[in-house]
Chain A
Amino acid sequence: MSMLEVRNVSKHFGSLIAVREVSLTVAKGELRAIIGPNGAGKTTFFNLITGFFPPTAGEIIFDGQNVTTVSAADRVKRGMARTFQVTEVFPELSVRENVRIAAEVAAGYALRPWLGGAEVRDIASVVEETVAVTGLAGKANRLVGELAHGDQRAAEIAMALALRPRLLLLDEPTAGMGEQETFEIAGLIRKLHRDKSYTIILVEHDMRVVFHLADRISVLDQGALLADGTPEQIAANPAVQAAYLGKAA
């Protein structure tokens, strides 16, 4: 069964059509990459899936339920978590506090004036596990704003993971990173996909990362879906080569 089904979704900003009748289906456990040139509408597409703003037309089905009119906060409760193209963290709080807030909100404690002993322990174990998975155990008490760029990205992914999502959306997680950091984040994403069987949608510009990690690739161009297939099919697709890979190479 599919985890996410997008049906004929469009988004207009005035006269600009940022996303144009895109349909796509992501299976459970799949790692889907979305690629396309700058301004193709990839981030807008993420914003539609996660409920940042409503689509101009079309429907979004998440895990069998129509969530087109569901608020962003409620989509998170139903199991969607995302990271942003520009890192969005809580800079003046520690890594552990960043992750802890996510874990507490996901557990439904956002309005709680206090927690019982067992609840505190449950949250702490989620936090420690998540911090460890993302390789931040040694930096858990540092303020996120003082970490290196790559570690900030990892902290943002840790927050998303602490939500215990069923669908994880990563918008250019390696943007602005050097070789080593890119390698580490790619390794983390692969681990989440292969070992922890997360369903992931990944927007990524680094083609090595995309072709290395993705089960399937969707190509957006000027808001429209240009192609959709396995990495081999996409690499061999003449339209993609003309519109995108050719230009990039």
Chain B
Amino acid sequence: MSGMARAQTQAPAAERPLLILAGIWVVLIAAPFWMPLVGGYTSLASRILVIGLAAMSLNFLIGFTGVVSFGHAAYFGLGVYGAGMILRYIAPSTPLAVIAGILLGGIVGSAVGALICRRRGIYFALVTIAFQEVFYYIAYKWDSVTGGFDGLRGFQRQPIHFGLFTLDIQKNDLAFYYFVLAVFAIVVGFMGFVLRSPFGRTLLAVRENERRARFLGIPVDRHIWLAFTISSFCIGAAGALYALLNNFADPSSLYTDLSGELVIMCVLGGMRSFWGPLLGAAVFEVLQDYISSQTVNWLFFIGLIFVLVVMFFPRGLLGVFRRRSAA
């Protein structure tokens, strides 16, 4: 009897994930209003969403396909430059810039993925780094187009015209946050949808046990390539938003350091968890924002916290909610 009473006060098992999901979106939608209460500000919230989207895109590959890339900043950076170059050289259109960033990151990622999807483990990771160096070098050296070492400046995100009204994301930080959140929602929704599909389950199969996956008849290389491609398109979107956030395309956005930071965010938040990397990015960005205003040695503290999390929460912060069984 007491068991029944307890069951009634709790949400039924099938509804609990939906409640958590609703809670996450409420927190994100309300972020500009509660962030100032805890010492944050709107553009920090935008930054967390953008970097969080990048980390979640990378985690699509690491956490849900089981393939580690240490060179994903390449496709993020291509998204940054794709968006920046549209605004700088082609047309003052924010939507066009975002689409260009997604396409540039995604198509190049897809081509690289096709070349490397037969490699595994450390070899795969090393080749991703090698390709990243290539793109970094191009951005760094091609002065006349990319701005070289100084990066690409002289463009600004543009207000978006919806016919009846105009969303001024250029001057209004709050409007920009909601624009970022909308793109974030579409991309994250897309990844969530894919992971719940039969195709998405084949990726989990590859992650869990490649040999078993192959002997179920899953062409593993092809599916790793597709996961790499999807992940690149998504992180390209994050890169495009990053260009809009800073009104600047910076060669360090496709550098190894950022790739490493993104991997750290995935591990911090929990690689087995869909939302973990967003939490990892939030922790990382908030610490960086706060500690770097106190000391130039902020990386030391990030490193320390990373070590502590890995020691005490080996599955990441959200890994605590490890599932024991599933419906």
Contacts and interface: CB of A to CB of B under 8 A. Distances in A.
Interface stretch (B199-207, B242-250, B296-304): B199-207
A74 B324 CA distance: 34
Given A91-B208, A146-B324, A106 B201 contact: no
A76 B204 contact: no
Closest 10 CB pairs of A and B: A76-B217, A90-B208, A88-B212, A109-B198, A94-B326, A104-B198, A141-B325, A112-B198, A73-B217, A113-B197
Contacts of B209: 88-91
A88 B194 contact: no
23 contacts: A50-B215, A76-B216, A84-B215, A88-B212, A89-B208, A91-B209, A97-B201, A101-B205, A104-B201, A104-B202, A105-B217, A110-B199, A111-B198, A113-B193, A113-B194, A113-B197, A115-B197, A115-B198, A141-B326, A143-B324, A143-B326, A163-B216, A163-B217
B327 interface: yes
Interface in A65-83: 71-74, 76-77, 81-82
Contact of A90 (B193, B199, B204, B219): B204
Interface of B: 193-194, 197-199, 201-202, 204-205, 208-209, 211-212, 214-219, 223, 272, 323-327
B67 to A, nearest CB: 16
A142 interface: yes
B325 A159 contact: no
A101 B216 contact: yes
A105 B220 CA distance: 12
A203 interface: no
B21 to A, nearest CB: 19
A74 B216 CA distance: 10
A229 B211 CA distance: 33
A173 to B, nearest CB: 15
A102 interface: yes
A110 B217 contact: yes
Given A93-B204, A93-B326, A143-B325, A73 B197 contact: no
A249 B4 CA distance: 58
Contacts of B204: 90, 93, 97, 101
Nearest to B226: A111
Contacts of B223: 110
Contacts of A113: 193-194, 197-199
Interface of A: 50, 52, 71-74, 76-77, 81-82, 84, 88-94, 96-97, 100-102, 104-106, 109-115, 141-143, 146, 159, 163
A100 B201 contact: yes
B194 to A, nearest CB: 7
A120 to B, nearest CB: 10
Contacts of A96: 326
B326 A97 contact: yes
Contacts of A76: 215-217
Contacts of B212: 84, 88-90, 159
Contacts of B219: 71, 73, 110
A46 B162 CA distance: 63
Nearest to A114: B197
B198 A110 contact: yes
Contacts of B218: 73, 105, 110
Contacts of B199: 109-113
Nearest to A162: B216
Contacts of A111: 198-199
Given A100-B201, A113-B194, A88 B325 contact: no
A146 B259 CA distance: 34
A143 B217 contact: no
Contacts of A105: 198, 202, 205, 216-218
A92 B208 contact: yes
A170 to B, nearest CB: 13
Contacts of B208: 89-93
Nearest to A90: B208
B215 A72 contact: yes
Nearest to B322: A92
Nearest to B197: A113
Contacts of A101: 201-202, 204-205, 216
B217 A94 contact: no
Contacts of B198: 104-105, 109-115
B178 to A, nearest CB: 28
A166 B214 CA distance: 18
Given A71-B219, A76-B215, A159-B212, 20 more contacts: A73-B214, A73-B218, A84-B211, A89-B209, A89-B212, A90-B209, A91-B208, A92-B272, A93-B208, A94-B325, A101-B202, A104-B198, A105-B202, A105-B217, A110-B198, A110-B223, A141-B325, A143-B323, A143-B326, A163-B217
B235 to A, nearest CB: 20
A213 to B, nearest CB: 23
